[in-house]
């Protein structure tokens, strides 16, 4: 194991290079891109609120802080984290990471026989370098976080690699846990899913903190949905309330493929969440879902793009935010329909439930329709708990506070209900219920 000498702040990028595990053994394409990402990170300016993609953002939260790349976690703590990694009851495989280091892994024996690859990124870089190189961070950042994606690219060392061969259907979900321990540390979790033609898979990512300490996470997802393939992905962001989190998702869908991306956003102090769905082939579909519980001084800054590049594509976005206390949310959603993407359906709905007079919800919809014969709609609403719903519940004996919680649960549960996998849905509901407990 490396000596644990305290590393300088991550914004001093030298330390990131030093930190890479046995850099010599990594494939050349990876280290080359890493080096150029390091320069890109240094060259790119910090975003300002004048940037279109950072309007209303609280950039203070992103001021360079003394975060260092996360150090390995002591073995007693690892034991505890493993014990707390309770996700889906019957998963087809799981990976558990703490501070970007693998703690545990398993794969259903039957699954391995189907040719599905399910392994930590660090291993895939060696064993499936060529395959990985074709998909790894191939989608450029278009939603404002180019600098932070460069940081991720320059610092990433661990994550999940899931490859589903042509025609293979994985029925039980796969899941990964990313723990963040210590304080003043930064992790760079990565998830890459490649679903080949006609395949089908569900994956769940958990992001959790070992303590309430202030840390940083800068993660990236690559979801590649092949022709006629189906990918259902959930991210449960449950970092500590002191964590600064940046997470960028890029989904690309080939013809007739279908992606469902659901974010359950619960934790973090400041969370920047970018999600791009690129519909590359005719008949491709993407469902973009998010349910956010924001309380205390939490901020969730969500930016999305539904990018229709082929005819007869379909996208449907539903983002819901429940805001307590002084919490703040932003949903800035752009629909872009390229000239050739005729007969496209693109929908976008943002719903905010305000539970405190001090909370602030911002919705910034945008449309860029360059094709004819397109069905598009977008709408954002902001409201409070409906008085008649409250009275109805109370008239059954349910105390007002419980009624508020139940109605809020229902409001967000409408998003969870859209997720096709029942086991996962029930686990999400349980997690949401636990998060609302005490409100």
Partner 1 sequence: MSLVIQNLHARVVGGQEILRGLNLEIEKGRVHAIMGPNGSGKSTLSKIIAGHPDYEVTSGEVLLDGTNILPLSPDARARAGLFLAFQYPVEIPGVSNANFIRAARQARLAEGEELDAVDYYGELYKEMDSLEIPRSFTARSVNEGFSGGEKKRNEVLQMAMLQPSYAILDETDSGLDIDALKIVAAGVNAQRSSNVGMLVITHYQRLLDYITPDVVHVLVGGRIVRTAGPELAHELESKGYDWIREDLAESASA
Binding site for partner 1 (CB under 8 A): 387-389, 391-400, 402-403, 406-407, 409-414, 417
- Report the Cα 98 to chain-centroid distance in Å: 17
- Report the Cα 185 to chain-centroid distance in Å: 19
DSSP annotation of 169: B
Q: How far is the CB of 103 from partner 1 (least distance, A)?
A: 34
Q: How far apart are CA 266 and CA 252, in angstroms?
A: 26
For partner 1, the closer CB: 206 or 409:
409
Q: How far apart are CA 389 and CA 432, in angstroms?
A: 20
Q: How far is the CB of 99 from partner 1 (least distance, A)?
A: 36
CB neighbours of 135 closer than 8 A, spacing ≥ 6? 192, 194, 222, 224
For partner 1, the closer CB: 52 or 426:
426
Q: How far is the CB of 220 from partner 1 (least distance, A)?
A: 31
For partner 1, the closer CB: 197 or 389:
389
Q: How far apart are CA 125 and CA 416, in angstroms?
A: 34
Q: How far is the CB of 393 from partner 1 (least distance, A)?
A: 7
Listed in sequence order, the DSSP H helices in 44-180 are 75-84, 109-113, 121-127, 129-135, 146-155
For partner 1, the closer CB: 129 or 423:
423
Q: How far is the CB of 281 from partner 1 (least distance, A)?
A: 33
Q: How far is the CB of 107 from partner 1 (least distance, A)?
A: 33
Q: How far is the CB of 303 from partner 1 (least distance, A)?
A: 25
Angle at 367 between CA 363 and CA 369, to 5 degrees: 170
> Which residue, among 301, 307, 308, 316, has the nearest Cα to 363 in the 3D structure?
301
User: 3-state SS of 10-33?
Assistant: CCCCHHHHHHCCCHHHCCHHHHHH
Note the maximum CA span of the chain.
Answer: 69
Contact between residue 334 and residue 364 where contact means Cβ atoms under 8 Å apart: no
């Amino acid at each position: 194991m490396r000596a644990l000498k305290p590393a300088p702040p991550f914004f001093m990028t030298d330390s990131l290079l030093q930190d890479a595990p046995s850099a010599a053994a990594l494939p050349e394409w990876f280290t080359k891109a890493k080096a150029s990402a390091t320069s890109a990170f240094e060259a790119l300016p910090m975003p300002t609120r004048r940037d279109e993609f950072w309007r209303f953002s609280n950039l203070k939260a992103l001021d360079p802080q003394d975060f260092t790349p996360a150090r390995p976690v002591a073995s007693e703590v690892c034991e505890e984290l493993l014990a707390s990694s309770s996700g889906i009851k019957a998963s087809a495989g799981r990976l558990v990471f703490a501070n970007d280091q693998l703690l545990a892994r398993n794969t259903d024996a039957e699954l391995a026989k189907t040719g599905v690859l399910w392994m930590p990124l660090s291993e895939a870089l060696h064993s499936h370098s060529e395959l990985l190189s074709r998909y790894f961070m191939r989608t450029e950042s278009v939603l404002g976080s180019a600098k932070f994606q460069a940081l991720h690219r320059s610092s990433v060392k661990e994550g999940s690699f899931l490859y589903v061969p042509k025609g293979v259907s994985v029925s039980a979900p796969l899941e990964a846990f990313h723990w963040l321990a210590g304080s003043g540390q930064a992790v760079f979790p990565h998830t890459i899913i490649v679903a080949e033609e006609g395949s089908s898979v569900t994956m769940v990512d958990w992001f959790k903190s070992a303590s309430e300490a202030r840390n940083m996470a800068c993660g990236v997802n690559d979801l590649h949905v092949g022709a006629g393939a189906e990918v259902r992905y959930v991210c449960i962001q449950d970092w500590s309330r002191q964590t600064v989190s940046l997470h960028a998702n890029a989904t690309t869908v080939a013809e007739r493929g279908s992606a469902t991306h659901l974010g359950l956003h619960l934790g973090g102090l400041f969370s920047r969440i970018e999600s791009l769905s690129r519909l590359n082939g005719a008949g491709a579909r993407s469902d973009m879902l998010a349910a956010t519980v924001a309380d205390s001084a939490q901020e969730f800054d969500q930016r999305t793009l539904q990018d229709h590049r082929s005819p007869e594509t379909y996208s449907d976005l539903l983002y819901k935010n429940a805001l307590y206390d002084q919490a703040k949310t932003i949903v800035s959603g752009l629909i872009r329909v390229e000239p050739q993407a005729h007969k496209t359906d693109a929908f976008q709905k943002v719903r905010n439930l305000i539970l405190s007079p001090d909370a602030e919800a911002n919705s910034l919809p945008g449309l860029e329709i360059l094709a004819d014969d397109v069905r598009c709609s977008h709408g954002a609403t902001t409201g409070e708990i409906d008085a008649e719903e409250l009275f109805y519940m109370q008239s059954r004996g349910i105390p007002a506070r419980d009624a508020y919680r139940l109605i809020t649960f229902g409001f967000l549960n409408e998003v969870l209900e859209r997720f096709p996998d029942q086991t996962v849905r029930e686990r999400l509901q349980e997690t949401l219920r636990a998060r609302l407990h005490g409100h």
